[in-house]
Amino acid sequence: MKILQINSVCGVKSTGRITTDIAAQVEGDGHECKIAYGRGDVPESAQKYAIKIGGKVSVYAHALYARAFDGAGLGSKSATKKFVKWIEEYDPDVIHMHNIHGYYLHLPTLFDYLKKAGKKVVWTLHDCWPFTGHCSHFDYAGCDKWKEGCENCPQKGAYPRSFLDKSRRNYAWKKETFLGVKDMTITTPSNWMADLIGQSFLKDYPVEVVRNGVDISRFQPTPSQIREKEEFQDKKIVLAVSTAWGERKGLNDVYALAERLDEGYQVVIIGLTEKQIKTAPKKVLALPKTDDVASLAGWYTAADVLVNCSYEESASMVNLEAQACGTPVLTYATGGAVETVPEGHTVPKGDVEKMAAALADTIDKKEILPQSMIDKTGIAAKYLEIYRGL
| Residue 274 counted as domain residue | yes
Q: What is the CATH number of the domain that holds 144?
A: 3.40.50.2000
Query: Are 22 and 105 in the same domain?
Result: yes
Domain coverage including residue 39:
2-213+375-388
Query: Are 42 and 159 in the same domain?
Result: yes
Q: Enumerate the H helices of 154-219 as residue ranges.
A: 167-178, 191-197
Query: Are 117 and 165 in the same domain?
Result: yes
| Residue 346 counted as domain residue | yes
| Residue 209 counted as domain residue | yes
Query: Are 366 and 384 in the same domain?
Result: no
Who contacts 122 (Cβ-Cβ below 8 Å, separation ≥6)? Answer: 94, 95, 96, 97, 184, 185, 186, 187, 383, 386, 387
Query: Are 337 and 188 in the same domain?
Result: no
| Residue 218 counted as domain residue | no
Query: Are 107 and 175 in the same domain?
Result: yes
The alpha carbon of 370 is separated from its chain's Cα centroid by a whole number of angstroms, namely 22
Q: How far apart are CA 12 and CA 318, in angstroms?
A: 13
| Residue 219 counted as domain residue | no
pLDDT of residue 390: 60
Query: Are 274 and 204 in the same domain?
Result: no
Q: Per the structure, how many domains does the chain have?
A: 2
HSE, side-chain direction, 13 A CA sphere, residue 2: 9
| Residue 221 counted as domain residue | no
Q: In degrees rounded to 5, what are phi and psi of residue 58?
A: -60, -45
Query: Are 246 and 209 in the same domain?
Result: no
Query: Are 47 and 192 in the same domain?
Result: yes
Work out the burial of residue 360: count CB atoms within 10 Å of its CB; fewer than 13 is exposed, 13-18 middle, 19 or more buried: middle
Query: Are 149 and 24 in the same domain?
Result: yes
Q: Which residues of the chain fall short of a pLDDT of 70?
A: 390
- DSSP 8-state secondary structure symbol assigned to residue 235: S
